[in-house]
């Protein structure tokens, strides 16, 4: 198994979302892999949580990454968060990302969950499954 491409994958996803016109139109640069100090915006995206499992074979090291991209809002309904989720899903499903280490074989939408959080927040979590090889 190789966890070697995890940071490279997250960096590529982050840069890809920042550069996507549809995502940017809805959240601007409010895409975080660590929270900024101070007050959070009313609508933002977070990256980070993931589960990784081995996908190595005789040709080399590789892994399946189930990574979560979450949309969070303090708005009373889910509509705005779901609209951002659509843009993120469109941007990442079958994305052709260049990693600083290794190679992305595939990136697919896997599942999503919309739920209420404490403090009146709404959260839409989308899981994307990425297959990477360590080159």
Helices (H), 1-135: 6-19, 21-27, 79-92
Contact 130, 106 (CB under 8 A): yes
Provide the CATH number for the domain around residue 92.
Answer: 3.30.2000.30
Phi-psi region of 28 (alpha: psi -120 to 50; beta: other; left: phi over 0): left
How confident is the model over 84-135, as pLDDT tens digits? 999 999 999 999 999 999 999 999 999 999 999 888 899 999 999 999 998 7
Whether residue 38 lies inside any domain: the answer is yes
SS3 for 123?
A: strand
Whether residue 82 lies inside any domain: the answer is yes
Does the global pTM surpass 0.75? yes
Q: Give every CB contact of residue 28 below 8 A, 6+ residues apart in sequence.
A: none
Whether residue 119 lies inside any domain: the answer is yes
Whether residue 1 lies inside any domain: the answer is no
pLDDT range class, residue 1, cuts 50, 70, 90: low
Chain-centroid distance, C-alpha 13: 6
How confident is the model over 3-51, as pLDDT tens digits? 889 999 999 999 999 999 999 999 999 999 887 788 889 999 999 899 9
Whether residue 112 lies inside any domain: the answer is yes
Tell me the torsion sign for CA atoms 67, 73, 77, 80. Answer: negative
Range of the domain at 12: 6-133
Whether residue 111 lies inside any domain: the answer is yes
How many domains does the chain contain in total? 1
């Amino acid at each position: 198994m190789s966890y070697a491409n995890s940071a490279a994958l997250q960096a590529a996803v982050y840069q890809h979302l920042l550069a996507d016109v549809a995502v940017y139109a809805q959240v601007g640069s409010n895409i975080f892999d660590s929270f900024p100090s101070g007050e959070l915006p009313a609508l933002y995206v977070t990256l980070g949580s993931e589960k990784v499992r081995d996908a190595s074979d005789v040709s080399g090291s590789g892994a399946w990454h189930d990574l979560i991209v979450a949309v969070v809002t303090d708005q009373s309904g889910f509509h705005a968060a779901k609209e951002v989720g659509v843009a993120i899903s469109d941007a990442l499903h079958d994305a052709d990302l260049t990693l600083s280490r290794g190679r992305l074989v595939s990136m697919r939408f896997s599942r999503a969950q919309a739920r209420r959080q404490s403090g009146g927040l709404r959260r839409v979590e989308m899981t994307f499954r990425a297959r990477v090889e360590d080159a």
